[in-house]
Amino acid sequence: MRYFYDLHLHSCLSPCGDMDMTPNNITGMASLLGLQIIALTDHNTCRNCGATIEAGKRNGVVVVPGMELTTSEDIHAVCLFPTLEKAMDWDEYVDAHRIKIKNRADIYGRQVLMNAEDEEIGEIEHLLLPGTDISIMNAYRKVQEFGGICYPAHIDRDSLSILSVLGEIDPYCGFATAELADFAKLEQLRLVHPILDDLHIVSSSDAHYLENMRDAAFTLELNEPTAAEVIRVLDTPK
């Protein structure tokens, strides 16, 4: 069965995320847009995933716990996990491998932790935007150790993407999937980067504001609507 997805969304925990991006607002908007499966992928953290999963259950939306990792090359990669427990293990690993600079909320924005009732329960002290010491060349294999999948984010963008930084997707990276911000660019990119013929291609919104969340348009063929099944499908060689 095919399910509508958006596998790249930010909450108010991302410093560039709007304060309206709360667990219930995100999942409620996803439901209104016709999305059935979403992933919460805040910058270098998974700590609002639990609340969003719970809110998703109330709103009839499956939430995959995830993260948008910033690699040592300043490349963004989407990381998805089959369970919240595995995501939080990855969160702990990344926290020990990222640059620690105190956040300036007046400059970068607040980094707000929430519960499933959209109540503030704290803030993350150190800025989540700086990179980690995890290389894009090893990110897929490292995430695999935690039971998840990793793939390059918004490869068609002019910054913070694997193509803008390295110019190519090295097969050594091991990716089975790549993400486009604008799916209409796929055919043009395939002419220059034939490796894309061998990868699953997903397109997600990378929304930091509710108004940037997209109407349901892209689907995945899944046996069941679960995080584990999303990962199985996206990690299966094409």
| pLDDT at residue 92, rounded to an integer | 98
Give the ranges where 5-129 is alpha helix by DSSP (H).
23-33, 49-59, 84-95, 105-108
Decide if 141 contacts 104 (C-beta within 8 A): no
- Rounded to 5°, angle at Cα 146 from 142 and 153: 60
Give the domain range for residue 119: 2-235
Q: How many domains does the chain have?
A: 1
Q: Which CATH number does the domain housing residue 146 bear?
A: 3.20.20.140
| pLDDT at residue 236, rounded to an integer | 95
238 pLDDT exceeds 90? no
96 pLDDT exceeds 90? yes
| pLDDT at residue 105, rounded to an integer | 95
Average pLDDT score over the chain: 98
| CA count, 13 A, side-chain hemisphere, 206 | 21
Query: pLDDT tens-digit profile of 8-57?
Result: 999 999 999 999 999 999 999 999 999 999 999 999 999 999 999 999 99
One-letter amino acid at 100 equals: K
- Rounded to 5°, angle at Cα 173 from 65 and 44: 35
One-letter amino acid at 32 equals: L
Query: pLDDT tens-digit profile of 48-88?
Result: 999 999 999 999 999 999 999 999 999 999 999 999 999 99
Query: pLDDT tens-digit profile of 121-151?
Result: 999 999 999 999 999 999 999 999 999 999 9
Query: pLDDT tens-digit profile of 169-199?
Result: 999 999 999 999 999 999 999 999 999 999 9
